[in-house]
Structure 1
Amino acid sequence: MSRRNPWTVFSATSTGVVAVFLNTSGVNVALPTIARELGASAAQSSWVLLSYMLVTTALILAIGRLADIVGRRPLYLGGYVLFTLATAACALAPGPELLIAARTVQAVGAAALVTNTTALLTDTFPPGSLGRGLGLNATVAAVTQALGPLAGGAATSWWGWRGTFLVTLPICVAGLVWSLLVIPRGPAATGPRERFDGTGAVLSTAALAATLLALSPDVLTAMGFPRAGPVLGGAALLLWAVFVAWLRRSRSPLVDLGVLLHRLRAPLYAAVLLNAAAQYAVVVLASLVLQSTGRVGALAAGLLVSPLAVGTTAGAVVAAQLVGRFPARTLVTVGSSAVLAGTVLLAVVLTPDGTYWPVFAGLLAVGFGTGLFMTPGTSLLMLTVPADRRGVANGVRSALQNVGFLLSTAVGLGLATRELTGADRADAYAGALRAAPQVLGAFSGGVRTAMVVLSLLALGALLACLALPARRPAPLTPPADAPANPPTTPPVVEENVP
């Protein structure tokens, strides 16, 4: 690895983090405007979100493994080029079909950016300051997530739905140019090149696709297969079983099962998955409910759901202050409890004609709990694996987190609109739902059911945290000889999710 100032490399990778997170959180708020202005069906509106999440999730492990073999710089830069071009294509898409196609390509680029950011920083920073570099990277991601809904709502209000993509383009172009100049080349390869597990990559991608479709009945109905859900669910279970069996016999598996099967990491990974599944769809459902009857637009909805992102940032800051004083198990348990309390409250108060301030409290609780869980959970995970397995451990964490996001969105949107007719479902996505009592009642009931399911997932995450061993394996603070580099930040590991 050629010598580079690590903070210079950090400045380049940060642009990729900002671009990906700004795009991801901004599109959530812009979805009703996209549906309305493009005339997208309910299934197409779902796929604007789900196609991106599915492809990103499916490719994280494969791209991470491929980067280990061919080098991080070419994968990172290639992903940045692809993400930039696809973002421009999204902004220019004339219809929902081409928008979904462009989002799919955009997701491939995002997977390459997200997967390689931690590895590039780890390769570049000296051990004494690595914690600060990764911690500041997590801060950039959290702040961008907090500002994303607001920026997406403002851009959509000013320039229409295309604005949420146009606002990302200057960041992409500037970041790509800067990355070409400063991202260092990796060391020359020595010895035979390792084998890429193509079979494992195909199996994991197929299993994820079957899982998503099984949980998206509205999409299956729109595709002409309304009763295919149970068949796809069974196929998903079979594919996951074959995938695990393949990993056990493969000499170069896509995922090292030894990283997963550990008395501390197993419940922690379960908590990561369940917490992600419990909280991610909350902002989508809240934005959908607030805009469903046309009472507020995209900008106002972005402001009204911002307590969740603000709470996440606040929770991460508090966790950074407490992580050296309290056991990580205590912090992740309290964080999961806050997520559970917030989702239960929202299951009661989140309705199209309800009062906002209880919703505000629920969003703030979910966000704060997420932030409080994120930092100590990631730090604890990375401290329980040897240095030569931290890349695999972080890759599995990112993949599980994204699976949770994907499942949260599929289940949340599917349940929230399950009792609506096709026309009313499309109107709900477009922010033009009829005010007829039976329609609003069906929509409110669906949202309540969705929030109850999210609450049950949050309860599962809390139980997983309680199953963690009481004794932590190592202190969660950086080494005493860590140099005083620029801005002091929490001793955490990157928290990166598109």
Structure 2
Amino acid sequence: MASLTARRHPYPWRVFAATSIGVVAVFISLSGLTVALPTVTRELDASGAQSTWILLGYMLVTTALILVFGRLADILGRRPLYLAGLVTFTVATGLCLLAPSAGWLIAARVLQGVGAAAVVTNNTALLTDTFPPRLLGRALGWNATVAAVAQVVGPLIGGAATAALGWRGLFVVVLPVGIAAIVASLWVIPRSPRTSVIREPFDLTGAVLSTALLTAVVLALTPGVDSVPWLPWACGGASFVLSMAFVVVQVRRTHPLVDVSLFRERGIALVLVAVLVNAVATYAVTLLVSLYGQAVNGISAVAAGALVMPVAFGTVIAAAAAGSLMLRFSPRVLTAIGMGLNAIGLLGVALVLSDDGGALAATAPFLFVLGCGSGLFMTPSTSALMLTAPSDRRGIANGLRSTLQNVGYLLSTALALVFATVGLSATARQAAYGGTLGALGSDEVARFVDNVRYVSLALAAVAVVGVFVCLSFPRRNVTAAVHPLESVTSLKESA
């Protein structure tokens, strides 16, 4: 089917360029609000729980629906669902821009997450259909790179937009990008032939179970539910039961939501686990550091965005270097080194944080190291997955990669938010999210800073686990990797 679609569209890199606009909008919206959260909390008078759900609502819905929309796209057609996702995302962005209250913003972010899930899922599927097999690995590698770069520069864009236009500034920036993505996609993305639509039943039970499972996990971790002592334990128990039920249903279904047979290949399973571990270990650090800077030191949103920019610089530099390094070293080695750099960066951040402003500058080199680790992990891990998966299953494998990566983002954020504010009063928790914790006294500040240190140390330990997962990758030589420089050459040849 990929070759057929490629013949119908002789310029696959134009499709890549068009879908990349949507990816940029989705991932900037995902990470850009982290530095603006204190401003949002203050101006909308949001409670601690509401502040948490402004971030988690978008992430939970996106993560839960990636698998659902991936399956629906196979059944209903990818282009229509992708365009519907773009429209939904863009309309929801406008609603975020108009939000008069925290509840409105949370609802609009949830709707935005619905659209984002359709974009992320079908972006990968459209590339799989459009590119011929010889270019598919490169295209998917570049797709992961675009998403990662948009994600790491999101805080700077969010901070700058907030400084210029208030917290609504982020949505002022994202809205025209969403409109541009719709126009470009309507113009460039080809219609799928009717024969490409799969006439299979939709696994509604699997969809409901997967959504309920993720919701239960997040509720078990979300701050604000501790006023009901038994609720976290109940949600934790429900998570276990739902996970078992989901696995049983998927194994028994003829047309399951998740193709569990991919996990029977050791190489694929290990790469997917590594992607999950890497996302859990690294995603929350920009949130933690930006909250620390604003809550403890009272810096502005734009300063908070600049504070975490070393992560973006390190990611871009390492991702560019990874292509050349992959000609000499296997993904197994490079991903392990990347995870190790992540652990060093997180450990350094934990060690230098203090109650005074001097710690802000001291975090920069460690954030840069963390970014280098993420960039070094990104492309080799995608390459290892593409080279391990059968050629006719690469789209499905990359879809699972995207799902587990988003699960990691969700868990990382939820864990960071709950443990960074554990032990704080409801007033102090709201002040931490609002960037005004320093006004409550040194004891609350010290407790919050200690919590952030402990969370950073825990994430560093997760990254160390990731090193061993990467070292367990198959030892076979994989030099035919996703090479960014070759992708640029292909882009020029296809243009």
State the partner residue of 1:260: 263
Q: Which residue of 2 aligns with 1:454?
A: 459
Corresponding residue number in structure 1 for 2:164: 158
Instruction: Please show how residues 63-462 of structure 1 align to structure 2 within 5 Å.
Output: 63-189=69-195, 193-216=199-222, 218-221=223-226, 224-293=227-296, 295-353=298-356, 354-435=358-439, 436-462=441-467
**Residues 191, 4 of structure 1: alpha-carbon distance in 2 compared, 3 angstrom cutoff:** closer
Structure 2 vs 1, CA of residues 192 and 163 (structure 1 numbering), >3 Å: closer, same or farther? closer
The percent of aligned pairs where both chains have the same amino acid is 51
Aligned AA for 2:367? L
Q: 1:114-146 deviations in whole A, cap 9, x for unaligned?
A: 111122122222334334433443443343234
Match of 1:36 in 2: 42
Amino acid at match of 2:241: L
Structure with greater helix percent: 2
1:297-331, Cα deviation, whole Å (9 max, x unpaired):
00011001111111111121111111121111110
TM superposition score normalised by structure 2: 0.93
Name the CA shift for 1:482/1:77 in 2 (closer, same or farther; >3 Å): closer
Q: Is the 8 A contact 1:214 1:229 kept in 2?
A: yes
Given that residues 289 and 351 in structure 1 are in contact (C-alpha distance below 8 angstroms), is that contact kept between their aligned partners in structure 2?
no
Mean Cα deviation higher: 390-399 or 48-57: 390-399
Contact 2:326 2:479 in 1 (8 A): no
Moved more, 260-269 or 71-80: 260-269
Residues 271 and 460 of structure 1 are in contact (CA less than 8 Å); yes or no, is this contact kept in structure 2?
Answer: no
- Structure 1 position 174, deviation (Å): 1.9
One-letter amino acid matched to 1:385: A
Shift in Å, 1:55: 0.6
Residue pair 2:250, 2:260 contacting (<8 A) in 1 also:
yes
- 2:471 maps to 466
Deviations 1:136-174 (CA, angstroms, capped at 9, x unpaired): 434433432343211111110111111111111111112
Q: How many angstroms does 1:445 deviate by?
A: 1.5
3-state SS of 2:32 partner: helix
Q: Which letter does structure 2 place at the counterpart of 1:210?
A: A
1:377 Cα offset (Å): 0.6
> Does the 8 A contact of 2:76 with 2:198 survive in 1?
no
What SS does the aligned partner of 2:230 have?
A: coil
The Cα shift of 1:484 comes to: 4.6
Distance across 2 between alignment mates of 1:57 and 1:86: 17
Contact 1:128–1:482 (CA under 8 A) maintained in structure 2: no
Q: Is the 8 A contact 1:76 1:116 kept in 2?
A: yes
Whole-Å separation in 1 of the counterparts to 2:284 and 2:152:
15
TM-score for both structures, normalised by structure 1: 0.93
For the residues of structure 2 that align with 1:129 and 1:352, how far apart are their CA atoms?
51
Query: Aligned residues, how many?
Result: 486
Provide Cα deviations, 1:267-320, integer angstroms capped at 9, x if missing partner: 222211111101000000000000003521000110011111111111211111
Which aligned runs of 4 or more in structure 1 are off by greater than 6 angstroms?
none
Asked if the contact 1:384/1:473 (under 8 Å) is kept, the reply is no
* Secondary structure, counterpart of 2:9 in structure 1: coil
Describe the SS at the equivalent of 2:35: helix
2:51 equivalent in structure 1? 45
Decide which moves more: 175-184 or 411-420. 175-184
SS of equivalent to 1:161 = coil
Cα distance change of structure 1 residues 452 and 190 upon mapping to structure 2, 3 Å threshold: closer
Aligned to 1:26: 32
- In structure 2, runs of 5+ residues without a counterpart are none
Q: Distance in 2 between matches of 1:474 and 1:65?
A: 32
How far, CA to CA, are the matches of 1:7 and 1:191 in structure 2? 23
Distance 1:226 1:99, change over 3 A: farther
Contact 2:74 2:197 in 1 (8 A): no
Distance 1:312 1:93 in 2: 33
1:78/1:482 CA distance change after superposition, 3 Å = closer
C-alpha distance in 2, partners of 1:3/1:268?
32
For 1:191 and 1:467, locate their aligned partners in 2 and report how far apart those are by CA, in whole Å: 38
Q: Please tell me the root mean square deviation across aligned C-alpha atoms, in Å.
A: 2.2
CA contact (8 A) 1:215 1:411 kept: yes
Higher alpha-carbon deviation: 301-310 or 434-443 = 434-443
Structure 1 CA distance for aligned equivalents of residues 399 and 267 of structure 2: 17
What CA distance in whole angstroms lies between the structure 2 residues aligned with 1:483 and 1:366?
26
Structure 1 unaligned segments of length 5 or more: list them: 490-498
SS in 1 for 2:473: coil
Conservation of the 8 A alpha-carbon contact between 2:133 and 2:391? no
Mean Cα deviation higher: 1-10 or 45-54: 1-10
Write the distance in 2 (CA, Å) between the matches of 1:173 and 1:311.
30
- More displaced stretch, 367-376 vs 124-133: 124-133
**Cα pair distance change 1:186/1:472, threshold 3 Å:** same
Q: Separation in 1 of the partners of 2:461 and 2:146?
A: 31
Q: Is the 8 A contact 2:352 2:363 kept in 1?
A: yes
1:54 aligns with 2:60: yes
Equivalent position SS for 1:406: helix
- Cα distance in 2 for partners of 1:118, 1:352 equals 44
- By how many angstroms is 1:6 displaced? 1.7
Measured in 1, the distance between the counterparts of 2:487 and 2:171 equals: 40
- Once the two structures are overlaid, the 10-residue window that deviates more, 184-193 or 272-281, is 184-193
1:3 aligns with: 9
Specify whether residues 57 and 488 from structure 1 end up closer, same or farther in structure 2 by C-alpha distance, changes over 3 A only.
farther
Tell me if the contact between 1:86 and 1:103 (Cα under 8 Å) persists in the aligned partners.
yes
1:476 has 2:472 as partner:
no
